């Protein structure tokens, strides 16, 4: 007779999986991918090292799952803040502010999400996740053109440029080897750059 | 007595190494990192598969060497074009145009340089190489502020934002799964975005 999981073993399995994901998120926030070794993950989660592979095919699969979880959470926060705002310029400013302040408040995690060299599986997640931001910026810019608030422009190019500008401007302030800087002026400067780029003037 | 390379064996060794680098550059331009397997590299270079490891500790080391070579060549081309131009707005426009036209003319190589998911060793090269562009943009923007051509701004943030905007705006047009687009309007739009971002108005 084949082994059939009972409700109880299934609940234990899900709990272990969740503990591994939580442990990975903590380790990521402390030392990036480099800190998330299989042994460190297992120890932090309080499970046997070998049991990691009962839940994930490889460490890369686990890191990709954590990436999706954390990056998805960030994207949702930005989307909700933008959705609560009106007007292209204010929505774009909100996008920059929520993205950048959240990143600067959790710099090690943000560095891992945006830039830390990592294997191709997580890299592929990074590209997918950036497209989520592109789509959000496209919606803002298209509505701004429609409303006559922004000049006519190639919406996809402008949206990608804005997301690229925000991410890359944050690389210096987020770099694990850089000095920590005051977030306020950094975020204000990035917002001004992005608003000017799409022709919204900025202030 | 220890083995000592003669002038002749040393010349052969260097020739093989160069053929491997050339082969890797060709394969990169055809199918990115995915196409650059050890066996494909050896076959294209006309050397035995095992001899690849006489020159490079691993495929990753070989790919990192090719990355440095190709990316360095691109950076030099942009630096020289910028150096032959005067005024911050025109220099920034030149930076965008040379970077973007060269990328759009060799889209598979540009995708490999900018975005293709790849292992951490090449990823680390990518960060280094981007810093070269940041430095160039910093010089342009700082001189523009000094000359009163650009408004006062945080030079490092603006430079990083401009390079991020160019790279990310190119992701769509360069994507191996996207449609090929006419380079002229793409490059003109990106130049306008970047010039506006730093307060140079654009046209």
Residues B73, B62: Cα–Cα separation, whole Å: 17
pLDDT tier at B181, thresholds 50, 70, 90: confident
pLDDT tier at A3, thresholds 50, 70, 90: low
Cβ(A97)–Cβ(A186) under 8 Å? Answer: no
Please count the residue pairs, one from chain A and one from chain B, whose beta carbons lie less than 8 angstroms apart.
121
Task: Say whether B117 and A121 touch across the interface (CB within 8 A).
Answer: yes
pLDDT on residue B3: 64
pLDDT at position A108 over 80: yes
Residue A3 to chain B, least CA–CA distance (Å)? 39
pLDDT tier at A119, thresholds 50, 70, 90: confident
Cβ(B202)–Cβ(A151) under 8 Å? Answer: no
Whole-number average pLDDT of chain A: 91
Cβ(A159)–Cβ(A138) under 8 Å? Answer: yes
A186 at B interface, C-beta within 8 A: yes
For the segment B115-120, the average pLDDT, to the nearest whole number, is 88
pTM for the whole thing? 0.90
Residues sharing a CB contact under 8 Å with residue B164, sequence separation 6 or more, in sequence order: A164, A165, A166, A167, A168, A169, A171
Residues of B in contact with A200 (CB under 8 A): none
Residues sharing a CB contact under 8 Å with residue A97, sequence separation 6 or more, in sequence order: A81, A187, A191
Residues of B in contact with A120 (CB under 8 A): 117-119
Q: What is the CA radius of gyration of chain A?
A: 20
For the segment A8-28, the average pLDDT, to the nearest whole number, is 89
pLDDT greater at residue B7 or residue A162? A162
Locate tokens 């839940």: which residue?
A55
A158 at B interface, C-beta within 8 A: yes
């Amino acid at each position: 007779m084949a082994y059939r999981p009972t409700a109880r073993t299934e609940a234990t399995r899900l709990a272990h999986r969740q503990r591994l994901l939580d442990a990975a998120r903590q380790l990521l926030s402390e030392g990036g991918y480099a800190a998330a070794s299989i042994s460190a993950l297992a120890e932090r989660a309080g499970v046997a090292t070998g049991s990691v592979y009962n839940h994930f095919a490889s460490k890369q699969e686990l890191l990709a799952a954590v990436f999706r979880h954390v990056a998805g959470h960030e994207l949702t926060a930005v989307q909700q803040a933008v959705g609560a705002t009106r007007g292209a310029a204010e929505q774009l400013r909100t996008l920059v502010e929520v993205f950048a302040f959240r990143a600067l408040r959790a710099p090690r995690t943000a560095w891992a999400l945006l830039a830390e060299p990592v294997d191709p599986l997580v890299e592929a997640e990074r590209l997918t996740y950036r497209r989520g931001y592109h789509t959000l910026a496209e919606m803002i810019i298209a509505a701004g053109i429609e409303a006559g608030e922004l000049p006519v422009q190639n919406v996809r190019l402008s949206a990608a440029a804005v997301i690229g500008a925000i991410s890359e401007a944050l690389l210096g302030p987020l770099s694990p080897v850089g000095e920590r800087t005051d977030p306020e002026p950094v975020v204000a400067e990035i917002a001004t750059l992005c608003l000017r780029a799409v022709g919204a003037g900025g202030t």
